[in-house]
């Protein structure tokens, strides 16, 4: 096993492993064997499990860090360095629309993401970031998001359940450029990081959904918090509000502050 310590070196290995896993997702060579988890729309396939096992095995060849994976890998704690993996984020899309799904891999140190890779598998885009060193897409640096543009001049990414649960969100959307939904939290966050959407609002995300993409957002100047504005601890499931600075503050004020 290589003694890999440097973030750049670790990111190089992680990106290479994710790119190889993309080929497996595109051409799995096995039956999907679709099954459900928590509900009829919470899907898992044999490919999710195959991709996770392949990535886990290849990571183990490089480091001895524990892995938290959505399907089959658990950890005792987030102490030290821990890999966090979603082998296919957007499994419903993988099964039904065959696009808008991602492979997401992050390395956390004591629960803080320090490097991340998000692959838009069908789109052929690989987003990467190292904490404090900026974010890239296919090797090209992502520019900083606009710090002053308000949500009235931005697209907001959210879902029907958030709209139903947050009545004030309807007014936000009416005043915005409109809303979108892609079905993969990782891809929705990199839309914010890439300045294609001003914000992402979601009531419930898991560590593997956001660990890598959260870092990519932060490295482009976007703010990422819980919906109530408190710090987002990636170790725990919960809500997320990610957005360009003025978009984030405007939505937070409309949803939370004015509701008090």
Q: Report the distance separating Cα 2 and Cα 212, nearest Å.
A: 23
Give the per-residue pLDDT at 40.
64
* pLDDT value at 4 more than 60: no
Same domain membership, residue 7 and residue 134: yes
Q: What is the pLDDT of residues 223-235, one digit of tens each?
A: 999 999 999 999 9
Beta-strand ranges (E) seen in 99-252 are: 102-109, 112-120, 125-130, 135-137, 140-141, 156-157, 179-180, 199-205, 223-225, 238-243
Q: Beta-carbon neighbour count of residue 200 at 10 Å?
A: 30
**The domain boundary residue, chosen from 109, 141, 173:** 141
> Is residue 200 a part of any domain in this protein?
yes
* Contact criterion met (CB below 8 Å) for 189 and 217: yes
Identify whether 215 is part of a domain. yes
Q: Which residues are annotated as a binding site?
A: 70, 86, 88-89, 209
Tell me the residue range of the domain where 180 lies.
151-259
Mean pLDDT in residue range 204-211: 96
CATH number at residue 117: 3.30.540.10
Clarify whether residues 67 and 158 are in a common domain. Answer: no
Q: How many domains does the chain have?
A: 2
Predicted pLDDT at 182: 94
| Closest CA relative to residue 42, chosen from 2, 105, 89, 107 | 89
* Residue where one domain finishes, among candidates 141, 175, 196: 141
Question: Who contacts 5 (Cβ-Cβ below 8 Å, separation ≥6)?
Answer: none
Give the count of alpha carbons within 13 A of 170, CB side only. 7
Helix 207-219 / helix 185-193 crossing angle, nearest 10 deg: 10
35 pLDDT above the threshold of 90? no
In a domain, 180, yes or no: yes
Query: Would you list which residues are annotated within the binding site for Mg(2+)?
Result: 70, 86, 88-89, 209
- 96 & 193 share domain: no
Q: Residue 33 carries which DSSP code?
A: -
The Cα 60–Cα 40 span in angstroms is: 33
Q: Count the alpha carbons within 13 Å of 107 in the hemisphere toward its beta carbon.
A: 26
Same domain, 119 and 155: no
For 186-194, what is the mean pLDDT? Answer: 98
In a domain? residue 146: no
Least confidently predicted of 23-32, 36-45, 246-255: 36-45
Q: What is the pLDDT of residue 2?
A: 40
What does the pLDDT read at residue 5? 64
46 exposed, middle or buried (CB, 10 Å; 0-12, 13-18, 19+)?
middle
Over residues 54-99, the pLDDT tens digits come to 999 999 999 999 999 878 788 989 999 999 999 999 988 998 899 9
């Amino acid at each position: 096993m290589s003694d890999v310590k440097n973030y750049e070196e670790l990111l190089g290995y992680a990106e290479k492993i994710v790119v190889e896993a993309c080929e497996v997702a595109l051409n799995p060579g096995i039956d999907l064997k679709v099954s459900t988890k928590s509900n009829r729309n919470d899907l898992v396939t044999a490919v999710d499990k195959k991709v996770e096992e392949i990535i886990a095995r290849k990571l183990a060849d490089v480091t001895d860090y524990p892995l938290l994976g959505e399907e089959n890998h658990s950890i005792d704690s987030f102490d030290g360095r821990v890999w966090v993996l979603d082998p296919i984020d957007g499994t419903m899309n993988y099964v039904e629309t065959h696009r808008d799904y991602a492979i997401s891999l992050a390395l956390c140190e004591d629960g803080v993401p320090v490097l991340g890779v998000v692959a838009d598998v069908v789109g052929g885009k690989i987003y990467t970031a190292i904490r404090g060193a900026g974010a890239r897409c296919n090797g090209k640096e992502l520019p900083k998001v606009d710090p002053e543009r308000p949500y009235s001049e931005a697209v907001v990414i959210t879902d029907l359940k958030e709209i139903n649960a947050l009545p004030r969100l309807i007014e936000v959307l009416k005043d915005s450029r409109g809303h979108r939904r892609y079905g993969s939290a990782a891809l929705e966050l990199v839309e914010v990081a890439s300045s294609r959407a001003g914000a992402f609002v979601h009531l419930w995300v898991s560590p593997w959904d956001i660990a890598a993409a959260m870092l990519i957002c932060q490295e482009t100047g976007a703010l990422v918090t819980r919906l109530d504005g408190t710090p987002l601890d990636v170790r725990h499931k919960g809500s997320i509000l990610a957005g360009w600075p003025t978009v984030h503050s405007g939505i937070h004020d409309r949803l939370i502050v004015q509701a008090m």
